[in-house]
Structure 1
Amino acid sequence: MKIYDNLRKGAMGDVEDLRGILYPTRLPTFHREPAPAELAELIRWFWIPRWAIAPGRSSRQEVLPFPASNLVVQPEMVSIAGPTTAISRRDLTGTGWAVGALLRPAALASLGIDPQALRDREEPLDEPDLHAAVCAAMGGPEESAARRRAVAEFSSWARVRLTPPDDEARLANAMEELISTDRSMMRVEQVADALHSSPRTVQRLAHRYIGVPPLAMIRRYRLQEAAQRLREEPQQSLADLAADLGYADHAHLTRDFRTVLGFTPRGYRGSDQ
């Protein structure tokens, strides 16, 4: 079980990681807060945006989401958003906030939700106690204190509502963490070998606990890193970037980038990020 221990340490990584956020300069106030250690097998982190957009204006947020599900509390509702197969867009207007939890694979199983049914969908979730507690916490005047209270209330709910993972759920967590952190993982067979498992088992775990195939998970994490590198290292050649991320050549990277995001790496690099 040593691989589980190592990967659980990785799950507590840097919450300032901006993977998936395509245009950081357009963000409203946005914070990621670590989950308490006892919830690390169930929640990767909490994310909390708050915005105040001038009347008559809007702010378009474009995100390449993690291949995972999110449990989200907003003033009007609690919802569960499943894994997506493409870029996610939302136009923010007026004032508002959200408190979301990026769920680990084991958490979705704990809620008894089929991730396949949630793919590319967001559904309301009947959790009135969670909604009331987080709304009350976010109502305070001091923003950082409100965030801390909201995370504390969300965590208290999760301790009661979510059950500890069994061995299979831990293996699903390990699979997801391995794919998200090891850029050499480009094929399902590599993931299976690293987990001392079989490709069939990896496929089954992805189907049951995540809702997208393992190869789609691999491509999503590599594309997230590609976008981040294009922002942070604008002088790096596309050929070198493709090689670093395990692509055969930059044409394959460009194809995946265009298919999922709708534009090329060169187009993204030249955009207002």
Structure 2
Amino acid sequence: MPTNTNSNSPMPSLGIINFQQGGHKFQLCRYAPAEDVAYFVRHYWVVKWDLAGEDPYTQHVIPNPCVNLVVEQGKTAIFGPGKEKYGHRLEGQGSVFGVKFKPGGFYPFVQENVSSMLNNALCIGDVFDTDPRVLEEKVFSHSDDERNVSLVENMIRSKLPAQDEQVIVVNQIVDYVYEQPEITKVDAICEHFRMNIRTLQRLFDQYVGVSPKWVIKIARIQSAAETTDGNDTHNWAKLSMDLGYHDQSHFIKDFKSILGQTPEEYALRKQTK
């Protein structure tokens, strides 16, 4: 049976900006995939909200090196990794069902460079032989999350490719970057995994869709945002040093390039919510 994590429980934000502040606007549940599908899929996620009589709310998310299959009324598609934060407008009452593939986990389904998906969402019918409108009707005809997990998981399983060892390699590299804040250069990845830089870059272009340099950058900025969300006082110089930046200005530039705000602007906006 899938496991379920509710947004009311302590959990990593996984890139959801101002997670604790925005959590009262929606409910987020994550479900673990079955063992065979788990080689490719990180988890299923469900967002539900009821803002009837309230102002609309936009929840922003920091991009990550994962492909997501998103089932939403009239908008169902498969989306590659993004380069900047993106927002989802919540209004009235509604829900979204999603599948987050592991970094590199979607490539075996299509055998095409994931980098081609950066600005081009895929129709699920092109990958899973499923009409998106029919899938939407099935998913939103009831409110049973586990039933939908089984439905979508069976759809994925029907097209399950052979296990590709490169997916394991990619996940080891991405996990290493996220777990080691002192990693600031691609050369350090190459040295640790004994891999030529060109080989590493081709691997990420093919399987992940973004460069290893970008993954390093986004991991540091996500860490910075989560640290800012969890504290009321801030020492930007210390935070930039903790994240391996040689100077605060470089940290601020990277932070703004992803979130559209300086760290100080981000912190002030959080306080006014």
| TM-score bracket for this pair, using the shorter chain length | 0.7 to 0.9
Deviation of 1:240 (Å): 1.9
Residue 189 of structure 1 aligns with an amino acid whose one-letter code is D
- What are the Cα deviations for residues 37-94 of structure 1, in whole angstroms up to 9, with x where unaligned? 3333311122211123326842112111212211112233531111111110222233
Aligned to 1:122: 121
The one-letter code matched in structure 1 to 2:123 is P
Who is 2:177 aligned against?
Answer: 179
| Cα distance, 1:35–1:130 mapped onto 2, change above 3 Å | farther
Q: 2-side partners of 1:129 and 1:161: how far apart?
A: 15
Q: Does 1:51 align with 2:49?
A: yes
Structure 2: how far apart are the matches of 1:152 and 1:117?
A: 29
8 Å contact kept, 1:73–1:131: no
Question: Alpha carbons of 1:184 and 1:37: their partners in 2 closer, same or farther (altered >3 Å)?
Answer: farther
Backbone CA RMSD of aligned residues: 2.5
Q: Quote how far apart the aligned CAs of 1:261 are.
A: 1.2
| Letter in structure 1 aligned against 2:141 | G
Indicate which of 209, 213, 216 corresponds to 1:215.
Answer: 213
Q: Distance in 1 between matches of 2:88 and 2:47?
A: 13
Residue aligned with 1:219, SS: helix
Match of 1:157 in 2: 155
Work out whether residues 44 and 99 of structure 2, in 8 Å CA contact, stay in contact via their aligned partners in 1.
yes
Match of 1:88 in 2: 86
Map 1:106-117 onto structure 2 (within 5 A).
106-112=104-110, 113-117=112-116
Q: CA deviation at 1:214?
A: 0.8
- How far the C-alpha of 1:150 sits from its partner, in A, is 1.7
- Distance change in 2, residues 1:75/1:259 (3 Å): closer
3-state SS, counterpart of residue 242 of structure 1: helix
Alignment check: 8 A CA contact 1:133 1:150 kept: no
Structure 1 residue 137: Cα displacement: 5.0
In the alignment, structure 2 segments of 5+ residues that lack a partner are: 1-8
Of residues 91-100 and 14-23 in structure 1, the stretch that sits farther from structure 2 once superposed is 14-23
Aligned residues: 256
Measured at CA, do residues 129 and 171 of structure 1 come closer, stay the same or move farther in structure 2, by a change above 3 Å? same
Q: Secondary structure at the match of 1:105?
A: coil
Identical columns (%): 24
Equivalent residue for 1:39? 37
**Do 2:65 and 2:103's aligned partners in 1 also have CA atoms closer than 8 Å?**
no
| Partner SS state of residue 80, structure 1 | strand
- Normalized against structure 1, the TM-score is what? 0.83
8 Å CA contact retained: 1:15, 1:32: no
1:77-126 deviation line (CA, Å, top 9, x unaligned): 53111111111022223322111111123332122143222114434321
Q: Contact 1:134 / 1:154 at 8 angstroms: preserved in 2?
A: no
Spell out structure 1 runs of 4+ moving beyond 6 A. none
Q: Which piece of structure 1 moves more, 173-182 or 197-206?
A: 173-182
Which residue does the alignment assign to 1:74?
Answer: 72
Q: Distance in 1 between matches of 2:136 and 2:162?
A: 22
Shifted more, 98-107 versus 259-268: the winner is 98-107
Within 1, Cα distance between the matches of 2:121 and 2:56?
A: 22
Please tell me whether the aligned partners of residues 73 and 99 of structure 1 are also in contact (alpha carbons under 8 angstroms): yes
The 1:245–1:34 alpha-carbon spacing in structure 2 relative to 1, beyond 3 Å, is farther
Tell me, which stretches of 5 or more residues in structure 1 are unaligned? Answer: 1-13
Q: Deviations over 1:109-159 (max 9, x none)?
A: 122143222114434321427875675355335xxxx12222222222222
Does 1:136 pair with 2:142?
no
